[in-house]
Amino acid sequence: MKKSRINSGIYLVIDPSEPLQETIDKLNKLLEEGLAAVQIWDNFKKTPDLKNYIKEIKKVCKDHDTPLLINNQKKLFAELALDGIHFDEIPRDFDRIKSNVPNNRIFGLTVNNDLETIKEAIDYGFDYLSFCTIFPSQTNNSCELVDPKIVKKAAEITDVPIFLSGGITTKNINDLDDLPYYGIAIVSGIMGSEDPVDALKNYKKKLKK
């Protein structure tokens, strides 16, 4: 199989604790506008039927030919044949995980200011890196603020796509114009908006060209 490559643009992260039908209704409209990928955040405490939730989201993404990734859950990733998985840290058994799925799967990793971890991720063959957190954020409150110099250094040592995440709004996105990035990851800035489609369009208008 041909190796998949994640698209540039808006990478949408969805919260599975939100009602399924409400999420599907929003997602259908957003996917019509075009998304780089969709990731299911592993916030599963309020998801009564997790596998059904994932299967339903998978159908929607497949209808729009958009890759669906899951956050950290390697068993569900393999069992439900999802397009990719996003890890918050490099798992010790990464090589085994990768070897047990088709080679067109997408692997992403959250990185911060540790350049050695970034180099390790490159050596492992991750398909993209997502820097967290760019601005203070209630959603990404477990990450320290990213040093812009590290983002630039990462871009110097690899051509792996770089995404930026954490606290990015339509008001501050253009503060990132001097950084080398492929796309941005958004959670509440779109899904938490009164008009998610309008929010997505506004982000797209302001994305670095």
Distance CA 161, CA 15 (A): 24
**3-state DSSP call for residue 96?**
helix
Task: Flag whether pLDDT at 103 surpasses 70.
Answer: yes
**pLDDT score recorded for residue 138:** 66
**Residue ranges per structural domain of the chain:** 9-206
164 forms bridges with which residues in the sheet? 131, 184
Predicted structure pTM score: 0.94
**pLDDT score recorded for residue 209:** 52
Q: What is the CATH number of domain 9-206?
A: 3.20.20.70
Distance CA 87, CA 36 (A): 17
**pLDDT score recorded for residue 48:** 79
Match 């899951």 to its residue by tokens: 70
Distance CA 162, CA 31 (A): 21
DSSP class of residue 4 equals P
**Mean pLDDT of the residues in the chain:** 93
Task: Flag whether pLDDT at 204 surpasses 80.
Answer: yes
**pLDDT score recorded for residue 46:** 77
Task: Flag whether pLDDT at 199 surpasses 90.
Answer: yes
Which of 79-93, 116-130, 139-153 has the least mean pLDDT? 139-153
**pLDDT score recorded for residue 136:** 87
